[in-house]
Structure 1
Amino acid sequence: MMIKNVFLLFCAFSISIYSGAQSLQFEEALSKAHLGRTNRDSALLKANRAFELAQKENSEESINKALTYIGAAYYNRRETDTARFILNKARPSLKKGSFEHGMATWYSGKVCLRSAKYDSAKQYYLQAKEIFAQLDSVLFVSNCLAEIGLTQGMQGNYSEALKWFTQSYENKLKNGLEAETDDDLHNIATVYMRQGSYDKAIEFFRKSIELKDGEGDYSPYIGIGGAFNLQGIPDSALFYYKKAYGMASAEKALGGVVSAAINISNIYFQKKEHRSAIDYLQIASATGAVSARSVPSVYGEMGKNYFGLKMLDSAKYFLMLGLEESFVVNNRQYKAETSEFLSMILAEQEKFEEAYDYAMMSMTYADSINRERRDDAITDQRVKLETLKKQHEIDALHAENQIHQYKQLLLIIGGVSLTLIGVLAFFNLRSRTNLKQAKLEEEKAVLQLELEKRQAQLSAHTLHMIHHKNGLEEIEQHLVELDGVGKQKIKNVISINKAQEKDWDNFNNYFSDVHAQFFDILKSHHQDLTQSEIRLCALVRMNLANNEIATLLNIEPKSVKMARYRLKKKLTLEEEQDLNSYIQKLELAGSRMRQG
């Protein structure tokens, strides 16, 4: 019996030792997963090892801890959807207020930030900050503050971003973590750059350099170079870009080499030292570290520099490569810029039909970009209007609830006091008045939005007409040196395009949408005006300059001045009377008369 008890005691002791060893292995794997975050593959490997050990322990808490680091590793590997799924599974089951709970919440914020869900990201970061504050983890509190700054900066709220970045920086300084402030210094400097405060940006970039005694990190030098470049001081910018290039080359940091080389080539392009610019672009390309989205830009810059050297075939070759790559990454801005340069090269090579095609392509992409920006602005206004409408509906429901409460109170009291009835009637009337006023405000906002939309269409169409005719005139100028029948044929085509009445029909439609009664009022006061004079009145009403009117009417600016002078005579205006003011007053007076 005694031997049996000793044997059972020995087994229990052995199991205890094995279990303790396994727990120790789990904690060790978890620590390595945490410490190895910068090495993505290693971190994922260690986190998966911790997960396997946790499953052997059959410990739900350990499993969710391991899942937190697996989710973090997938985020660092840029597998965002997988990271989101794993973190959402682990986070609710973690011990509230634990370090892993803070980590899971923090990384959930990172996932939302990468997905451009800024409000959700901010909420996660605020929650994580509170958890880390309770754990006295100063560094992670500062990290959360900095991440909130990123959510603001990525939305263009630079003042708010600067506030959060500064809090992160000061929190580290206050707690003796000055060595960890490099990212904060970069963030603060970048915000100052965005705000145009270049001296402040340079000040914080230099603090970053001093923090590391001028060694190790090339990025502050690129930042300072950028600040000088934006201020139009290319020689100083070039000095710092080359400093960054030397440091990145010494560290074999290919990303830094690419960034510095491209910036150096940009300065040489500004200085018209195209051969040097090409040399650095070739260095950047040869690293093999140029990102897919930057490839069209590198090829495009090569083409522009060869164009500057008048090596048109080489310029055309690289610009065509850049255009092809811009289709791969679907970057319309690159497409517009590259097409424009190709048009210029082909025009110099007297390949006018191809030049015209690329010029039209460039204008099409430019119009598309402008139209999208305008549509985005209109969409923003519509969202604001919908928000206002929802708020009015909420206010209306709130008012209805108040009315309902008042009626219930009236039924309960049963006419105890005429004064109470009077008070209820007053509130009822005021609520209805507020509802009516809110409806009127809503209708007014809708009308204003529609007017702004039509004004935007009119302006866009007018700019398109001017841009179109300017492009045709530029091609005409290239035809001056040509002789023969071919020249006359092209001129005839251009003249036909310039005289297109379809553009004027569209112009009249857009103009009438914005100035509904303008033409009727004008004709009712001046029946003898010709169609050309009525058209001139419309362009004057839009406050266009003489050179813009000349482009639209296909005449010389001095002819516009003569036409305005003859129009004033026909309208029987005194010499000192302003034609613009008269037409505006005539429209206003006519509109009031018709409304009356």
Structure 2
Amino acid sequence: MNWMQRLFILLVLWTPLSGFASPSDHPLLQKGWAALVKDNENEAFRYFWQAYEIAKKENNTAIKAESLLYLGICSYGSSLEKGLQFVTQSLSEYKNLENTNPEKALIGRYKCLQLISTIYVRQKKYTEAKELSEEVVAELKDKNDTSGTLGLAHNTLGRLNELDNDDYEAERHYSLALQEFEKGKNTAYLPTSYCKMGEIAQKKNDKKTSLDYFYKALSIAEKSENKHAQINAMIALGKWHIAFENDFLQAEIYYNKARILAVPLSDKTFEIITIEALIELKKQEGDFEEVSKLQHQVIVIKDSFYSFEREQIVKSLEVQFEVSEKNRKLDLLSAEKEVTKLTNYLLVGLLLVIIVVFTIFYSFLKRINKRDKQLLKAKEELVALMEAQKQLKEQQFQNDIEFKESQLSAITIQMLEKNELLDEIKTVLNKKEPTSEKDIKKLVSKYTIQDNNWKDFDNYFESINKNFYTRLKQKYPDISSNDLKICALIKLNLSIKEMASILNISPDSVKTARHRLRKKLQLNTEENLTDFILTV
């Protein structure tokens, strides 16, 4: 993938990160937005989270929904799962707002759908992303949308059509997006829209128009202190100077400026893009020594940037490659050995004729011995590599087990926390205070543990403890599903109090259930139930 393709993908992924109109007049959301536009994601997250906590205490559904939406925008760049979690919660809050403020709830819903579409693009779920953005366009195209959501939806559809090589539809959507952004004076993502229109003009060999668009993009990005947009515009200008002016020096100046801006950013993708742009330039200049240095820098950044899982995959691929190479060498050596055997037969026949043939035959024997040693060494190296691959697979398997155990623990803790909350709510309800019983019951219903919790629990539990339930059922057919739950919680070494909280029963009921379980398992008085379950 060349640097221009990477730049295109970067534009696809970055734009919506700050791609919504400014939030409401809530001061914390305004401060968070200002920080986000300047690429200070950590500071922005703190402001958005403070707004959410205050709104939660004040039970302000509108601000809660908006805070969660902007938390999703702020988070998904570093964690798609976290971003999706926040935007899903926001969607739920906007649904609760439908009765009191239907107009705001509707706009909020389409903001959420557009953010989900953006996340789907990053996950390469292009079909799902297109469906969501098309729904946003269909609902908002005839409305006076001031939030910028309609423009973002057109932008996404432009990118998806560009990926499908449908240049006509891509340009149409990009133009509509730009119209929306200019109408709303949305400086947060106007630079990216101008860059896209500049690229379209450049493809048409329209020198002046493309340059005007790129300068507009850079000017707005600099005024708004939007570093991401500045980097994109500078790279686009560097490409323009190479394409139209053949001015490599000016292009390098832009690339270096972009790199200076990219170095302090937490998202190292931008720094990689700028370096790869310099690599492409140096290749065209024939400066391959500098190309080598820059490529090394990219490798160093990537090494520090990618996760342990990615490193494991790379290691696995390296081992597979080395094994493949050793197998190839082994095949070559085996073929050479066959040739040597044929040569040896000829030398044996000639040995009976002259002494010179004997000397040649002797030298070939030495060569055979040497090649056999090489073959043996290659086999030993192959065995060693296969052993390394086996260990790597075992390590990956262990990582999977640890991950599932952590998920199981997370589910268990979640169940504990939810049921503790239910106990607190029930306590308040029993006090008969002025609080509305209807509201409290709704809250109890909202947080009641569903069967899905147990299904998720059972799935993770069974993945770690293979056939645990099956073995118990086969050996003790009378054991019930509730008994199996007790057994699973005992297997996790939970206390009676913790088990009572998860099962939403009293500790005495847990003790009674344990006593009945002992009878079904036919345990003697001196046998410990926990020790028995741990051995199953």
Q: Which band: TM-score by shorter chain? A: 0.3 to 0.5
Larger radius of gyration, structure 1 or 2? 1
TM-score under structure 1 length normalisation: 0.42
* TM, length-normalised to structure 2: 0.46
